[in-house]
Amino acid sequence: MQSTPDLSRLLNELETLASFSDAPAPAVTRVVFSAQDLAARAYLHRLFSEAALELRTDAVGNTFARWVGGDSSLAPVATGSHTDAVPHAGRYDGTIGVLGGLEAIRALQRGGFRPRRSIELLVFTSEEPTRFGIGCLGSRLISGALSPEGARRLKDRDGKSLEEILRQAGFDKSLEDVRLADKFYHGFVELHIEQGPLLERKGIPVGIVTAIAAPATLRVRIEGSGGHAGAVLMPERRDAFVAAAEIALAVESAAKATRSADSVATTGVCNVFPGAVNSIPSRAVLEIDVRDIDLARRDAMLSAIRAACGATAAKRQVAVEIELINADAPAQASPLITQTLSASCRALGIEFMPMVSRAYHDSLFLSRIAPTGMIFIPCRNGVSHRPDEYASPADINRGVQVLASALAQLAQ
Ligand code: GLV
Ligand code: MN
Ligand code: MN
């Protein structure tokens, strides 16, 4: 099957997409349902329509762009990723899987391929947890990992409910209809940058993902006692921020204590109230991200962090409330997809290696309803979630070629 990507067109589209941003270039900030996110969606819908794809959007804003196959009785094959970006990010995370997926489809179209199964390109809503505190919002709802009632309880940092934000953004369908049936797709393949250094270090251009690590998120609210920074004596203080700092150190220790490189824990958010230099912090809210390939070890880290919260509460006389936002199981890639991807790499003469994904992806949830796998391409110095995130044109090209080949095999 002749399917040569139009690399310069794809690079131009990546550049245009990066311009929908609330941060000046090269940084990209595109929070879900912000004005920039909505403008980026409109741009993508135009590209999908130009490629003669049938468009559908569900109640949470997941977009489905379908190349209709010859036999509509067969389950479609799917690819895709996300286009929201964490604050001060780069241009490749997620977008490679969306625009690369589109280019894979266009390359197959140009090559004269006629799919028997439909090929569907998905753009998932809010893979990043920035706005609602939980990642993979769209794919969680698609897979049933998050219920419509659970989604209705979500609020953003300003206290606005997801439903209200959806309504304002023009999505007025029922959240009950987002869930897709098990085996809805014959297979799902996501193309993504590795977001780590292994491919680059080994000089191997493609990674075939075998498993995705198990992520968990905690929100910890600490209530102490505020007051005048000059007048309240040190023995009388119940400083919520200092308690939070102690907990953050315990988070780091919990990961280091396992002595496994696969254990990671991060305190990525610390909000302090009232936030004045001469006022003792009365309240602090932490958001903590904990991951491991090994579910039992991940859960042991969560227990250690809970114990540390209890110890800090007692020692510092503060109230500590722990909310578990999510604790997901790891995902295994399907042999159908990993074998298809290996065969594609061999046919194209592209060296590859199996690898684990330490980052999470919408594939974590798609794997619950469809045979799923991922293609990783290298990113410079393993950098991601930063403005200097970079994937080379040659690597992007190879990733799209492998994706196109795999979609063609799966859709035949
Ligand atoms: C996705 O962006 C992740 O945090 O793994
Ligand atoms: Mn990301
Ligand atoms: Mn991503």
- Compute the Cα dihedral for 165, 170, 174, 177 and give only its sign: negative
Q: 362 and 212 in contact (C-beta within 8 Å)? A: no
Please tell me the residue having the least CA distance from ligand 1 atom 2. Answer: 128
Q: Is the CB of 355 under 6 A from ligand 1?
A: no
Cα(265) to centroid of ligand 1, in Å? 13
Atom of ligand 1 nearest to the CA of 94: 2
How many Å lie between the centroid of ligand 3 and the Cα of residue 224? 36
Q: Which of 331, 337, 54 is nearest to 188 (CA)?
A: 337
The predicted pLDDT at position 2 comes to: 59
pLDDT-derived band at 1 (thresholds 50, 70, 90) equals low
CB 193 within 8 A of CB 100: no
Taking Cα atoms as reference points, which of 14, 392, 337, 8 lies closest to residue 203?
392
Q: What is the pLDDT of residues 283-323, one digit of tens each?
A: 999 999 999 999 999 999 999 999 999 999 999 999 999 99
The average confidence (pLDDT) of the chain is 97
* Phi and psi, residue 243, nearest 5°: -65, -40
d(CA 225, CA 275): 13
Instruction: Summarize pLDDT for 218-263 with one digit per residue, the tens.
Output: 999 999 999 999 999 999 999 999 999 999 999 999 999 999 999 9
Atom of ligand 1 nearest to the CA of 384: 2
Distances (CA, A) of 239 to 244, 268, 396: 9, 20, 49
Give tens-digit pLDDT for 352-405. 999 999 999 999 999 999 999 999 999 999 999 999 999 999 999 999 999 999
Q: Is the CB of 92 under 6 A from ligand 1?
A: no
| Residues 75-105 pLDDT 10s | 999 999 999 999 999 999 999 999 999 999 9
* Closest atom, ligand 1, to C-alpha of 128: 2
Q: How confident is the model at residue 60 (pLDDT cuts 50, 70, 90)?
A: very high
The predicted pLDDT at position 71 comes to 98
> Is 292's C-beta closer than 6 angstroms to any atom of ligand 1?
no
> How high is the pLDDT of residue 3?
75
Run of H or E including 151: helix 148-152
The pLDDT tens digits of the residues spanning 322-343 come to 999 999 999 999 999 999 999 9
